[in-house]
Structure 1
Amino acid sequence: MHPFRFGVQYGRPESPTAFREMARKVEDLGYSSLFCHDHFWDSWSPIVHPAVAAEITTALRVGTLVFAADYRHPAVLAKDFATLDLLAEGRTEFGIGAGWLTEDYSQAGIPLDRPGVRIGRMIEALEVIKGLWSGEPLDYDGEYYQISGMIGRPLPHTAGGPPVIIGGGGRRVLTEAARLADIISLNPNLRSGTVGPDAARSSVAARFAERRQWIADAAGERFAEIEIQLNTFMALVSDDADSVLARFAPGFGLTPEEAREVPLVLAGTVDDICEQLHRHREAYGASYIIIHDPEVDAMAPVVARLAGA
């Protein structure tokens, strides 16, 4: 089993000062990483945001969970992220996905292709990016991208490029992740393009056990090397978590009992959450836990107890 580590996904900072204070706090409290997301709502740039966090910290790893492959040509993204990794002296993790949020596509006027096409394009994009990070001239003739004799510049600080994160909830993307990723983020199935009842129903424990098995079957002996990540919906440290779950579960078409077993929901006392995380690692191989910025202080005792264990 991989040791536990914890990351934070930051939403929209209140101010530049607040963001810098949060980045320093996250590092001081023992979190391993700080990520932003890649959406067109009121969040900040998914390249500039991590660059500032890296500049003001000394050990914190930074990145984006996850870049939507459809939003940037892979040659551009390879250059941008290699520059980030170079400036951060290797303290990055590169997350990429196929894109899913319908609102992003409709508002930006980007065509929303069916999932299979988006996944295929994401796979090609990652192959191009890795090729450009190799330091060798790249010739690539794919269905979606063609590269002719291009050498990636600058090269990342990390030889061959930083660790790759692929997130997903469907069988094909997780099977490809088992081949291509160093870290796999187990997600619900977001085929509907929104976070609602469909996504919630795909988040029950049995579905996550199935996803873990898909990865294990596809990865074979390599499975032991892959770090499994959970990007949580909620991390609620409370003596009365049951009443909170009872209130929100029906809105997602779940019973309170089902909500409590959703791997992306952490709820209860510090002891309760530590026990949940041990069960999740045993059941799903999940050791890399992502929470969100409003939960940083409350989850600090869990991080202090489990990080590295």
Structure 2
Amino acid sequence: MTDTATATTSLRAAAHPFRFAVQYGKPESPAAFREMARKVEDLGYSTLYCHDHFWDSWSPIVHPAIAAEITTTLRVGTLVFAADYRHPAVLAKDFATLDLLAEGRTEFGIGAGWLTEDYEQSGIGLDRPGVRIDRMIEALEVIKGLWLGEPFEYDGEHYQISGMVGRPLPHTPGGPPIIIGGGGKRVLTEAARLADIISLNPNLREGTVGADAARSSVAGKFAERRQWIADAAGERFGDIEIQLNTFMALVTEDADSILEQFAPGFGLTLAEAREVPLVLAGTVDDICEQLHHHREAYGASYIAIHDPEVDAMAPVVARLAGT
């Protein structure tokens, strides 16, 4: 069997059923947020996320807690916590409380931090990417250790824990599913070892979403990222759920006219823009076809969209969720 055939067989074996998440920005009001959370659940979305930035948005702990309280099946979480913004002992306690109150309907996302504006405005030191990734790994090791409920010792470069017992324990034994997001080889290699869900992103090393991130969003780059994960994960690749956190999900009869408008600004040709995995554009049939392709090509079955797109994408969710 050729290497290509082996990779294809491995990818097919790893395919998971489709599920869909919504990442919520700033709610218009408390009532609007509650209405959206209930709608997302009713329409068959799996999960409601918020993000972790310092711009005009709500708390990434309180926000999911309210969503969990007013729903019955919806999963909640943050996509993703920036490890630099909180001590892991604090985050372990906060998220264990959330998981306990949500009775296990949570997903814990963690990342190394990337948005330069957050660091500049908050005064938090922005270290080079390798240091931030090292700190994220240590933070996750501390968090997972504290979720075991036994006296925990940790002596790392960035964090030291001395005989601490994590309380409360999460509802989920050992803690909820772990999400790690990223677009570089180092972070995805670590994610293949540590995460249950890997959120594929462009490379955000510039600290903003610009032309560099767009160039790293082309199809070939995502195929490479999938291969990095498969190589690092080995036999556990089939257990990992791969997520796409989309830039755009647009149901339209004329996708090309939309793509033609934004592609040049990001240095992409129309043909390249059509194949960017983080952009879903076309009719419901077109988008369903795109998602089947993305699952085949990148192993991606878990699709995250944004709150303005919930209603338009509902027919896609109804057709594909669970298949």
Q: State the TM bucket, normalised to the shorter chain.
A: over 0.9
Q: For residue 247 of structure 1, what is the aligned residue in structure 2?
A: 261
Q: For residue 167 of structure 1, what is the aligned residue in structure 2?
A: 181
Look up the equivalent residue of 1:74 and give its one-letter code: P
Q: For residue 321 of structure 2, what is the aligned residue in structure 1?
A: 307
Look up the equivalent residue of 1:305 and give its one-letter code: R
User: Is the counterpart of residue 62 in structure 1 residue 110 in structure 2?
Assistant: no
Q: For residue 231 of structure 1, what is the aligned residue in structure 2?
A: 245
Q: Following TM superposition, by how much is the alpha carbon of 1:136 offset from its aligned partner in structure 2, in angstroms? A: 1.4
Q: For residue 210 of structure 1, what is the aligned residue in structure 2?
A: 224
User: Is the counterpart of residue 71 in structure 1 residue 85 in structure 2?
Assistant: yes
Aligned positions of 1:289-304 closer than 5 A: 289-304=303-318
User: Is the counterpart of residue 118 in structure 1 residue 132 in structure 2?
Assistant: yes
How far, CA to CA, are the matches of 2:148 and 2:215 in structure 1?
41
Look up the equivalent residue of 2:116 and give its one-letter code: T
Matched residue SS, 1:263: coil
Q: For residue 277 of structure 2, what is the aligned residue in structure 1?
A: 263
Q: Following TM superposition, by how much is the alpha carbon of 1:42 offset from its aligned partner in structure 2, in angstroms? A: 0.3
How far, CA to CA, are the matches of 1:139 and 1:68 in structure 2?
23
How far, CA to CA, are the matches of 2:158 and 2:91 in structure 1?
15
How far, CA to CA, are the matches of 1:153 and 1:69 in structure 2?
20
Matched residue SS, 2:304: strand
For residues 268-295 of structure 1, give each alpha carbon's deviation from its aligned partner in whole angstroms, at most 9, with x where no partner exists: 0000000000000000000000000000
For residues 241-283 of structure 1, give each alpha carbon's deviation from its aligned partner in whole angstroms, at most 9, with x where no partner exists: 1100000111111111111100000000000000000000000
TM-score normalised over the length of structure 1? 1.00
Q: Following TM superposition, by how much is the alpha carbon of 1:59 offset from its aligned partner in structure 2, in angstroms? A: 0.2
TM-score normalised over the length of structure 2? 0.95
Q: 1:177 aligns with which of 188, 191, 216?
A: 191
How far, CA to CA, are the matches of 1:54 and 1:164 in structure 2?
18
Q: For residue 24 of structure 1, what is the aligned residue in structure 2?
A: 38
Q: Following TM superposition, by how much is the alpha carbon of 1:58 offset from its aligned partner in structure 2, in angstroms? A: 0.2
Look up the equivalent residue of 1:297 and give its one-letter code: D
User: Is the counterpart of residue 130 in structure 1 residue 144 in structure 2?
Assistant: yes
How far, CA to CA, are the matches of 2:209 and 2:151 in structure 1?
41
Q: For residue 296 of structure 2, what is the aligned residue in structure 1?
A: 282
Q: Following TM superposition, by how much is the alpha carbon of 1:119 offset from its aligned partner in structure 2, in angstroms? A: 0.2
How far, CA to CA, are the matches of 1:179 and 1:73 in structure 2?
22
How far, CA to CA, are the matches of 1:241 and 1:211 in structure 2?
26
How far, CA to CA, are the matches of 1:41 and 1:103 in structure 2?
9
Look up the equivalent residue of 1:109 and give its one-letter code: G
User: Is the counterpart of residue 155 in structure 1 residue 169 in structure 2?
Assistant: yes
Q: 1:108 aligns with which of 122, 141, 150?
A: 122
Matched residue SS, 2:107: strand
Q: For residue 12 of structure 2, what is the aligned residue in structure 1?
A: none
Number of corresponding residues: 309
Look up the equivalent residue of 1:84 and give its one-letter code: L
For structure 1, which runs of at least 5 residues remain unmatched after alignment?
A: none
What is the percentage of aligned positions where both structures have the same residue?
A: 88
Q: Following TM superposition, by how much is the alpha carbon of 1:137 offset from its aligned partner in structure 2, in angstroms? A: 1.1
Look up the equivalent residue of 1:51 and give its one-letter code: A
Matched residue SS, 1:228: strand
Look up the equivalent residue of 1:161 and give its one-letter code: G
How far, CA to CA, are the matches of 2:150 and 2:202 in structure 1?
37
Q: Following TM superposition, by how much is the alpha carbon of 1:135 offset from its aligned partner in structure 2, in angstroms? A: 1.2
How far, CA to CA, are the matches of 1:127 and 1:156 in structure 2?
16
Q: Following TM superposition, by how much is the alpha carbon of 1:180 offset from its aligned partner in structure 2, in angstroms? A: 0.3
Matched residue SS, 2:244: strand
Q: Following TM superposition, by how much is the alpha carbon of 1:193 offset from its aligned partner in structure 2, in angstroms? A: 0.1
Task: Point out 4+ residue stretches in structure 1 off by more than 4 angstroms.
Answer: none
How far, CA to CA, are the matches of 2:275 and 2:182 in structure 1?
19
For structure 2, which runs of at least 5 residues remain unmatched after alignment?
A: 1-14
Please give the root-mean-square deviation of Cα atoms over the aligned residues, in Å: 0.3
User: Is the counterpart of residue 83 in structure 1 residue 107 in structure 2?
Assistant: no
Matched residue SS, 2:153: strand
Look up the equivalent residue of 1:197 and give its one-letter code: A
How far, CA to CA, are the matches of 2:288 and 2:225 in structure 1?
22
Look up the equivalent residue of 1:203 and give its one-letter code: S
